[in-house]
Amino acid sequence: MILPDHEIRKLLKEGRIVIKPLDEDIQIQPAGIDLRLGNEFRVFKATSLPYIDTRKKPEDYTDTIKISNDKPFIIHPGEFVLGTVMEYMKIPSDLMGSVDGRSSLGRLGISIHATSASINPGWEGMFVLEITNSGKAPVAVYPGMRIAKLTLHKLSSPAEKPYGSIGKEKYQKQDDILQSRIHEDNE
């Protein structure tokens, strides 16, 4: 079941869902919450490495760029960058989230996630976007613009082990853009 606007408002008021800062009049939609683009990005460096080994801690292969809130960030055709949303979120153990890009940006060639569109029950932090420009022209995006939509899904019962309950989760309570930590997987 996807939560509608009035249930989202109720859970926010009760403190069961935390999304800050939030302008309810603009961001709460009929079946989700619009998320705004933050002002910090990770861009990938040109490298002479033959490949990135997913079993080893990676070299520093990205640069962090922070822009002022009134300046554009230009995403060039074929470019892949990590960006963050402005909002800090906390999802309870009986909900999960999914993040989708906005159609208006998709029509310009901008996708806001490559693979990780879901948010686990119990997750807390600033969600990181995997932004790609698959169009033919550079696109300017701005901090504070609505870039994605969070849809909240009710689970049939609370998760037995919500994200963050074990203490080894790689991205719990992240407040900036972390590089991949896939090398920490114990498989």
Q: Give the separation between CA 94 and CA 83, rounded to whole angstroms.
A: 27
Distances (CA, A) of 78 to 18, 66, 132: 34, 21, 7
Q: Give the separation between CA 132 and CA 157, rounded to whole angstroms.
A: 35
Active site residue 87: no
DSSP 34-46: EEEEEEEEEEEPP
Angle subtended at Cα 7 by Cα 100 and Cα 22, rounded to the nearest 5 degrees: 60
183 alpha carbon, distance to own chain's centre? 20
Q: Which two tokens stand for residue 72?
A: 């554009």
Q: Find, among 131, 70, 69, the residue nearest to 105 by Cα.
A: 131
Angle subtended at Cα 64 by Cα 58 and Cα 67, rounded to the nearest 5 degrees: 165
Nearby residues of 76 by Cβ (< 8 Å), 6 or more positions away: 133, 138
Of 24, 40, 130, 160, catalytic:
130
Q: Which residues are catalytic?
A: 130
